[in-house]
Amino acid sequence: MFKAEQTVSSNLVARDLEGSSSRRDIFYKLSDGEKLRSKLVVKCAFDHILIVVKNLERSIEFYKLLGFEHLKTIQRPEDRVGVLQLGEIKFELMCLPEGRETYRTSRKITDVGFRHVGFRVDDVEDVYERLKGKIQFDSPPRAIAGRGNRMTVFFKDPDGVEMHFVQE
């Protein structure tokens, strides 16, 4: 259940007044005070992120450096999947069998689609100092333009998936 108001667009504010088993009633309050009601098909909750990797063991070790716990590895005929968890976040790392072709196209920041994963931390400088010899950062931590005192530092996992730590 949302406790705080969430801005849906410049005119709407969504408030989850009461959740039901598999549907939620969301009331939208227009800027003039009029309410609209909408039904979501399913409850919204984050479940997991799946990332295809080239080397499962190497990737598991990398994510353990970030604080993830390796819960299990699932062996299937078509692939192997490492399941990791950090707090409420689950990552599934899928490794295809040797010889199964994978490819990666380079993407620009303006391309449509998934861009990066952001991890909120208390102190970006501290995390950077502790990990800078263990993972490759794109640059030292920097302020996020136009975002007050927010700081960030970007890095990539062993297969080039972009990520960053962000400090509020």
Instruction: Find the radius of gyration of the CA atoms of the chain.
Output: 20
Distance CA 125, CA 41 (A): 41
Dihedral, CA of residue 28, residue 31, residue 34 and residue 35, to nearest 10:
10
Pairing status of strand 117-120 against strand 162-167: parallel
* pLDDT at position 165 over 90: yes
Q: What value does the mean pLDDT take over residues 41-68?
A: 87
On whether residue 53 sits in a domain, the answer given is: yes
Give every strand in the sheet of 80-86, ordered side by side.
49-53, 89-95, 80-86, 69-75
160 and 127 in one domain?
A: yes
CATH of the domain at 55: 3.10.180.10
23 three-state secondary structure: coil
Distance CA 163, CA 155 (A): 5
pTM of the model: 0.67
What local confidence, expressed as pLDDT, does residue 87 receive?
A: 92
80 and 59 in one domain?
A: yes
Residue range 93-116, pLDDT digits in tens: 999 887 566 555 566 666 667 778
Residue range 57-94, pLDDT digits in tens: 999 999 999 999 999 999 988 889 999 999 999 999 99
What local confidence, expressed as pLDDT, does residue 155 receive?
A: 96
68 and 30 in one domain?
A: no
Residue range 145-157, pLDDT digits in tens: 887 789 999 999 9
Q: What is the mean pLDDT of the chain?
A: 77
Residue 27's beta-bridge partner residues?
A: 15, 37
On whether residue 102 sits in a domain, the answer given is: no
4 three-state secondary structure: coil
Domain coverage including residue 28: 6-40
Pairing status of strand 80-86 against strand 69-75: antiparallel
* pLDDT at position 9 over 80: no
On whether residue 112 sits in a domain, the answer given is: no
